[in-house]
Structure formats: structure tokens, C-alpha cells
């Protein structure tokens, strides 16, 4: 039809010029416009164009479990610069994704900017405002006094953030970046480009990226599963109006998320029975998840991250307390049960979907009650590294929303193993170390590979910070990181103090972690 917005993926890829700034709406496999990204990579392989792109990804596009995403574009000369809230990640035993290899060999200039700030940068560009002023990231790797978000030497040559004084306070300033192209994804487009998301597990930042590109004179490409007749979509269902969309690419086989064709419980079409959710096997990791669960109170809104804490909703479910707290995740789901493994970022049975930029505004201001997160390293100041592991960098996705979430969170519970490589058993209500780990995770100040969370600033702000490991519980107190509980079967000196890389404090009221955590039976009434 005359004036049609419908294009093939190859035709859409052809509109991207050399040197363009391209923003992509995705979270691993969730909402990933993979067909369009594949077409861009294919065009470059054939034509050597487009060259020198700047790619912007508030959350990672693609993963290591079957959705290539940004790796379609990981070709020498195609990408000049990449600004990502997170990056594809996966097992240490796997070959790193091509984009990671390019970052490590300095083929691209790469930055890790907190996801919420990337969305903020897009919002400010859409409003024709100069940039983002924020306290998110002060005292961390985001701060120009540390890495300034740079992931390699090429990135260090061009600063994208600076410190500034505003009304007597210190802030970070990120200039706006105006995208030439936004690539987003939805479930359905009508012929006019109106987009609905009925089969998606999140909206992410589709509207914000489309607004930024459109208002800055750029183009918006929308990949969808199906195309409907003009005027047939209900206006309340349209999340991105057709006035912002330039091109529609139909991808009938697009997955809902990695390895998932369609799960109606992820999109909210139906609610799964609670007894269909897998609960964790009994081991040291489950012991930690149980102990983390004891930190929470009914009625709270609680954010969770990847790792040990991702199983805490399953603890509530197993104990018959599902619904006592409301889980909130950065991809936008509110309520329900957050999913695991390569479906992480989706929730089943959610109560609501909030666009990620609004969810991050909620997080950045500390509007929630607690956050449950992981750690790779802890130092003597109580600072945490979760975003960098030099010997196998693709094992971590980078910071993602971690820095946004922790900046003003009233209560944070970090969880992880005390050291790496230990062989553990839980028997007869006690923890047993069958083989001690060799990699120290509690390190001296200054030895963190990267500061993702500043213990110094947390103490200044009066944040409640707890660290849960399999062998002890620690608190960040004014005098330092302090052991407050010890697992049954552990010796405070030989199993804990001697195995830490710095001098831990010990509470004068040192307690034993509840023995019921270390038995396979349900906790029952003791859970409360």
C-alpha cells in the first residue's frame, strides 16, 4: 500500500548510516529485536556498511543461551563505541561472546553505565535537555575519580561523565546522547505503526528510546510478531503510538525470551498454579536464601538480583508465604514470582508491568523497602564488587541496575559464598567444609577489582547493609564489617577470621545462625 511502513529486516537495516548512534531496547532475550540486529550484521558482512556505529543498550541485547543480540554486530569496523548498562553473560567454561572479545582487545571503546542512567540519558535527549545530573554512581566505578564507566583503554580516551558542583553539592553529569536510530520490539503493530505488547514480559524502555530517536530527527524501527489492520488495536493497549514509528519489521518466529516461544504466565495472560514452580534443592545455597528471607517483613516491596537472592521468592513460596512481600525487578515486573536462569528478568503471575525508566526512578530515589543482591568481593570498607571479574569477564554482565538500586536503598542484603571453590555439605543441622576454597572474596581495601557499591558512602547515608554467607552473617557497622552470626559447625577463628583477607570485627553479641536453616524440613512457623 502507498506509504506503507512495513519493511523486511534487510530493508530496515539499510536505513542505518555510517557513524550512526543506534539505541536498542532489550534485556538479554526479553524484547530483543534479534532479526533486525541479524540483518544489520548480514548487511555489514556483504557491503562493509554501516561502519563505525555507536551502540547504546540500557540493558544487554542478547545472551549466551541462544539469542545472539549484539553479537550479530560484533564484526571488526561495524561498531566503534558501545555504551551498555549490561552485556551478554554466561558460564565461565564457555567461550566469551564476540562483543566481549572486541572489548578486551580494544577493537571498540566500551562503557558500562548504570542501566537507569542510560534510560535517563535517552529521556533527556528526547526532551532536548543538556543531560543527566545524578548522585547515582558517586564513589563507585561510575565516578570519574575511578573508572568513569570506562571498560577499556579506548574508552578512557573519551570521558562520558564528569563531576560537577551544583548548589554546594557534588553530582555526576552525563551529557545527553541523541540517537539517530532506535530499534525496539513489540508483539503487534497495526499498519500505522501503533505497537502493543500483549505477548511480552516487559515494556523496558521502548517508548523512551522511540521518543529520543524521533524527537532528535532519527528513525524508529519496530520488530513485531504480527501486523494488524489499521484502527483495530484498542487505544489503551498501545504502548508506543504509530506517530513515532517509521518502519515495521515482521518476525513471525520471534521468541518471547531466550528458548521460550511463548509462556502466557510471563505476559500475564494467565496465572500459573503455585505448585508448578520449582523450589530449590537443599544445599548451602538454599541455607543462604533462607537466611536472607528472614531479613524481610510482610508488606515490603523488595527488589532482587541474580544469584542466591533470586531463590528467595521460592523460599517464601515453599513456606506458604507467597504474597507477603511484593517483588520488583528492573525490567519492570511488579509482584508475581521472578523467574530463574535464562528467564531471569521475567516474572510469572505479575501484578503489573512498569516501564523500566519509571522503575529505575523508583529505585534511584529509594522508594522500595529492601534490595537482595549478590557479591563477588567485599573489602574492609564494606564496599562490594559485583560487576567485574578480570580473569573471565563475561561471567558477569556488568553493573546493570545494581548501582541505581543501591545508591539510596534503605536496606540491602548481599549474599554469596564466603570464598570461591569450597566444597560444602549441610548435615545434621550443621555446615561442614569438606574442602576449603582457594579464592579469597573478602579482600583488603583497595583490592576490589571494581567498586560497584561504596561502603564508605553507605555508612555516610546510614544504609542498613547485611552480608549473608554460608558460614556467617556480617553487618556494615560504623566500626567496620562485623560478624554478627556464625553457622553451626563453624569455628569463628579458623573457618572465618583466618579465611578473610582483612581483619573482620566480631560482635560482642555473636549469635549462632538458627539451626532450622540447616535442616531440610520446611522452616514452618519459625519462618516468622
Residue that has been written with the C-alpha cell 580494544 in this structure:
106
| Residue tagged active-site, from 200, 330, 470, 485 | 330
Q: What is the DSSP letter of 497?
A: G
Q: What angle do CA 301, 304, 308 make, to 5 degrees?
A: 135
Q: What is the DSSP letter of 187?
A: S
Q: Is the dihedral of CA 391, 396, 398, 399 positive or negative?
A: negative
CB 290 within 8 A of CB 311: no
Instruction: Report the Cα–Cα distance between both ends of the chain, in Å, rounded.
Output: 64
Cα radius of gyration rounded to whole Å, the chain? 23
Tell me the C-alpha to C-alpha distance, in Å, between residue 390 and each of 81, 104, 106, 386. 21, 10, 15, 12
CA 496 to chain CA mean position, Å: 31
Strand partners, 384: 378, 453
Cell of 260: 521460550
d(CA 299, CA 323): 8
CA 185 to chain CA mean position, Å: 19
Residue that has been written with the C-alpha cell 520471534 in this structure:
254
Residue in 105, 33, 106, 31 with CA at minimum distance from that of residue 70: 33
Asked if omega into 50 is within 30° of 0 (cis), the reply is yes
d(CA 44, CA 57): 20
Q: What is the DSSP letter of 281?
A: P
167 carries an active-site annotation = no
CA dihedral 325, 329, 332, 338 (to 10 degrees): -70
CB 377 within 8 A of CB 442: yes
d(CA 61, CA 257): 11
d(CA 467, CA 527): 19
CB 279 within 8 A of CB 337: no
d(CA 309, CA 290): 9
d(CA 99, CA 84): 11
Q: Which residues are catalytic?
A: 330
Amino acid at each position: 500500500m502507498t506509504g506503507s511502513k512495513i519493511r523486511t529486516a534487510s530493508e530496515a537495516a539499510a536505513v542505518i548510516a555510517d557513524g550512526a548512534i543506534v539505541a536498542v531496547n532489550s534485556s538479554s532475550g526479553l524484547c530483543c529485536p534479534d532479526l533486525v540486529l541479524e540483518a544489520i550484521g548480514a548487511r555489514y558482512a556483504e557491503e562493509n556498511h554501516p561502519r563505525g556505529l555507536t551502540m547504546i543498550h540500557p540493558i544487554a541485547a542478547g545472551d549466551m543461551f541462544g539469542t545472539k543480540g549484539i553479537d550479530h554486530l560484533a564484526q571488526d569496523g561495524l561498531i566503534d563505541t558501545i555504551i551498555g548498562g549490561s552485556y551478554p553473560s554466561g558460564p565461565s567454561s564457555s567461550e566469551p561472546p564476540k562483543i566481549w572479545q572486541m572489548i578486551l582487545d580494544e577493537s571498540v571503546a566500551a562503557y558500562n553505565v548504570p542501566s537507569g542512567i542510560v534510560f535517563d540519558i535517552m529521556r533527556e535527549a528526547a526532551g532536548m535537555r543538556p543531560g543527566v545530573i545524578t548522585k547515582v554512581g558517586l564513589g563507585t566505578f561510575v565516578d570519574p575519580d575511578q573508572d568513569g564507566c570506562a571498560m577499556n583503554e579506548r574508552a578512557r580516551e573519551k570521558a562520558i561523565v564528569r563531576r560537577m558542583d551544583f548548589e554546594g553539592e557534588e553530582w555526576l553529569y552525563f551529557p545527553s546522547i541523541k540517537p539517530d536510530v532506535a530499534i525496539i520490539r513489540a508483539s503487534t503493530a497495526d499498519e500505522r505503526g501503533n505497537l502493543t505488547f500483549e505477548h511480552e514480559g516487559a515494556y523496558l524502555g521502548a517508548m523512551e528510546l522511540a521518543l529520543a530517536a524521533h524527537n532528535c530527527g532519527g528513525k524508529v524501527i519496530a520488530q513485531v510478531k504480527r501486523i494488524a489492520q489499521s484502527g483495530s488495536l484498542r487505544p489503551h493497549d498501545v504502548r508506543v503510538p504509530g506517530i513515532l514509528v517509521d518502519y515495521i519489521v515482521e518476525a513471525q518466529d520471534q521468541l518471547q525470551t531466550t528458548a521460550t516461544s511463548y509462556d502466557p504466565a510471563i505476559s500475564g495472560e494467565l496465572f500459573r498454579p503455585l505448585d508448578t514452580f520449582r523450589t530449590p534443592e537443599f544445599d548451602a545455597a538454599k541455607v543462604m536464601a533462607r537466611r536472607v528471607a528472614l531479613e524481610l517483613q510482610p508488606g515490603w516491596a523488595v527488589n532482587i538480583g541474580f544469584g542466591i537472592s533470586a531463590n528467595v521468592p521460592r523460599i517464601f513460596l515453599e513456606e506458604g508465604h507467597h504474597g507477603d512481600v511484593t517483588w520488583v525487578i528492573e525490567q519492570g515486573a511488579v509482584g508475581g514470582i521472578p523467574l530463574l536462569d535464562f528467564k531471569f528478568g521475567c516474572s510469572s503471575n505479575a501484578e503489573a508491568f512498569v516501564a523500566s525508566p519509571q522503575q529505575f526512578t523508583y529505585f534511584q530515589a529509594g522508594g522500595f523497602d529492601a534490595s537482595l543482591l549478590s557479591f563477588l568481593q567485599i573489602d574492609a570498607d564494606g564496599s562490594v564488587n559485583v560487576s567485574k571479574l578480570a580473569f573471565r569477564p563475561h561471567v558477569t554482565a556488568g553493573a546493570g541496575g545494581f548501582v541505581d538500586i543501591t545508591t539510596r536503598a534503605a536496606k540491602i542484603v548481599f549474599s554469596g559464598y564466603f570464598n570461591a571453590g569450597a566444597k560444602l555439605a549441610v548435615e545434621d543441622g550443621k555446615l561442614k567444609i569438606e574442602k576449603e576454597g582457594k579464592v579469597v572474596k573478602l579482600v583488603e581495601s583497595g583490592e576490589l577489582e571494581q567498586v560497584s557499591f561504596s561502603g564508605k558512602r553507605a555508612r555516610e547515608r546510614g544504609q542498613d547493609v547485611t552480608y549473608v554467607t554460608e558460614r556467617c552473617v556480617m553487618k556494615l557497622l560504623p566500626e567496620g564489617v562485623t560478624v554478627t552470626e556464625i553457622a553451626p559447625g563453624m569455628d569463628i577463628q579458623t573457618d572465618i577470621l583466618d579465611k578473610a583477607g582483612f581483619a573482620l570485627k566480631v560482635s560482642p553479641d555473636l549469635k549462632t545462625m538458627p539451626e532450622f536453616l540447616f535442616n531440610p524440613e520446611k522452616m514452618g512457623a519459625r519462618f516468622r
